Structure 1
Amino acid sequence: MGDGGRTRVIERAGPWGFVFLLAYIGAAIYFVSVSDGSFWGIVLGLLQAIVWPAYVVYHVLVLLHA
């Protein structure tokens, strides 16, 4: 450890974070647009946007009769 005990961490998952951010924004726009427009409807839409992959997996499993 010739550099004073410091280590270098190289994060290579940055582009995936941007993809997930775009997916969240798109899901949030969709779920908020289909809500009734009330405050709690918008809050519920934002919460649904967080867990939208669970909706996708559920519906795929329903289609596969699993």
Structure 2
Amino acid sequence: MKEQIQRHASSNPIYGMGFIGALVYYISHATSFWMGLLGILKAILWPGFLVYEALKALGM
């Protein structure tokens, strides 16, 4: 079972690269310590923002 899960987990590196990119972006644009912490939270939740904006753009 463990081998089967690892074989189908090919999206993890893509999420990881997106997380690192979002983390660098949000922290580099932070103007204070609290905005940096908010940036870390946003970096974790970026796929949710992406799906929300895509559905909003499609009018759903």
Q: TM-score range by the shorter chain?
A: 0.7 to 0.9
Q: CA, structure 1 residues 16+64, in 2 after alignment: closer, same or farther (shift >3 Å)? A: closer
2:29 to 34, 54, 58: 34
How high is the TM-score relative to the length of structure 2?
0.74
How high is the TM-score relative to the length of structure 1?
0.68
Counterpart CA distance in 2 for 1:48 and 1:35 is 12
Instruction: Select the structure of larger CA radius of gyration.
Output: 1
Q: Percent same amino acid among aligned pairs? A: 37
RMSD over aligned Cα atoms? 1.8
Q: Runs of 4+ in structure 1 displaced over 4 angstroms?
A: none
Query: Which has the bigger relative contact order, CA under 8 A and spacing at least 6?
Result: 2
Structure 2 portions without partners, runs of 5+: none
Aligned length: 57
